[in-house]
Each structure stands twice: as structure tokens, then as C-alpha cells.
């Protein structure tokens, strides 16, 4: 599973949470059990406005939720058939 976060671009300092006068970047952190030892973090989008970055994070989180739900359904089918 991935966790998506929004951060101010390096060198920019937000005066308040959601400051629209600066650019933001979206980071993705891998949180699977296999990745516990290695904290895998990647910048996936840069130079975005706050509103467009939060909208993109919402889309990413919805896709992650759908993927988890479909995996849970597939796992439950496998355990029922055994």
C-alpha cells in the first residue's frame, strides 16, 4: 500500500496549511510489510498548486482503496474455496 502526502517544494515555506502562494510536491511512501525495513519514498509530482495537488491525492487514495478492496475480495474468495 502507498501513502500519498503533500509537501511544500524545497526552498518554499508555507505561511499556513494550504497556502496557495507556493508550489507543492506529492510524495509517495510504500507502507507494505515487506518495505518496513526500507522506507521507500519517492517524489511523484512537483510544482503543483495546493488545490490541484489535494485533488490528485484524493484520486490516488481512491485508487488505493479500490485496489485494497478488490484484493480483500479475492483473498476472501480463495479462503472460502479452500
Q: What pLDDT is stored for residue 17 in this prediction?
A: 84
**pTM (two decimals):** 0.71
* pLDDT of residue 59 exceeding 90: yes
* Strand order across the beta sheet in which 41-48 lies: 2-8, 24-30, 41-48
Q: What pLDDT is stored for residue 2 in this prediction?
A: 84
Question: What is the C-alpha to C-alpha distance for residues 2 and 66, in angstroms, rounded to an integer?
Answer: 12
* Residue ranges of domains in the chain: 2-81
Q: What pLDDT is stored for residue 58 in this prediction?
A: 92
Amino acid at each position: 500500500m502507498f501513502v500519498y502526502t503533500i509537501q511544500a517544494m524545497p526552498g518554499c515555506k508555507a505561511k499556513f496549511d494550504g497556502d496557495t502562494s507556493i508550489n507543492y510536491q506529492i510524495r509517495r511512501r510504500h507502507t507494505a510489510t515487506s518495505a518496513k525495513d526500507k522506507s521507500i519514498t519517492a517524489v511523484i509530482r512537483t510544482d503543483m498548486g495546493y488545490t490541484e495537488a489535494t485533488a490528485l491525492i484524493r484520486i490516488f487514495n481512491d485508487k488505493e482503496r479500490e485496489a485494497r478492496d478488490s484484493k480483500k475480495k479475492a483473498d476472501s474468495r480463495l479462503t472460502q474455496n479452500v
